[in-house]
Chains A and B, each alone.
Chain A
């Protein structure tokens, strides 16, 4: 399974943008890049995903490098409610062997200061 590398922790000030990086140098051409976050005492929550092009939704933006070996999750204005562990995960297609398994690494713990 392709792996991802993320910083252990990051800090941000409230109402400022946050850029959370992720390296995935062994990504295959068919892997989707998914981001989830887990707030304290809650289940993981889907944030955004993409394949090649940058993506935007109501929660965040995803910027994918041209060679797809890295990506960045962008929170445009961090709030206190965004304090969570953010996971960058590669989801392969259903071609056998992957079990649909999301491989959760340790993620990035984001702290937001008022």
Chain B
């Protein structure tokens, strides 16, 4: 089944403790992206990647890092999480060229930083 898999689904952590949220897709998509969703603010892009070793900042990149060493994986790294990063996170992937392809989203990771 074609899908984007995120892990973990739920995570509670303490301020300052480094964490990684994994994202993997099995559709050979070039493009991958991370979003966060907050009440009243909707979905906002954090980072995106056009292909392997090509990443760039989205609209809200502060406090996050990403890497794209393999086409299928796009982990989101929080080096020193803070409470304002408590949010619902979604990974998405798509073929790159043109607007003629839909995005596939993961099921989400609910992160709480205390």
Contacts and interface: CB of A to CB of B under 8 A. Distances in A.
17 contacts: A30-B99, A36-B103, A41-B108, A42-B107, A43-B92, A43-B105, A44-B103, A45-B105, A46-B103, A46-B104, A51-B99, A92-B99, A99-B48, A99-B58, A100-B48, A100-B50, A100-B96
Nearest to B6: A43
Interface residues on chain B, size class: 20 to 34
Contacts of B58: 99, 101
A101 B32 CA distance: 10
Contact of B43 (A34, A44, A45): A44
Nearest to A41: B108
A47 to B, nearest CB: 8
B100 A94 contact: no
Interface of B: 4, 31, 33, 42-43, 45, 48, 50, 56, 58-59, 90, 92, 94, 96-100, 102-108
A91 B45 CA distance: 14
Interface stretch (A13-21, A63-71, A73-81, A102-110): A102-110
Interface in A42-64: 42-46, 49, 51
**Shortest Cβ-Cβ A-B pairs, 8 listed:** A32-B99, A46-B102, A43-B105, A91-B99, A104-B43, A44-B105, A101-B45, A104-B42
A72 B63 CA distance: 39
* Main secondary structure on A side of the interface with B: loop
Given A44-B43, A49-B100, 9 more contacts: A30-B99, A31-B99, A36-B102, A43-B106, A46-B104, A49-B99, A94-B96, A99-B48, A102-B45
Nearest to A34: B102
A91 B97 CA distance: 11
A29 B14 CA distance: 48
Contact of A49 (B92, B102, B104): B102
B50 A93 contact: no
Contact of B42 (A42, A91, A94, A105): A105
B94 A100 contact: yes
Nearest to B44: A104
B44 to A, nearest CB: 8
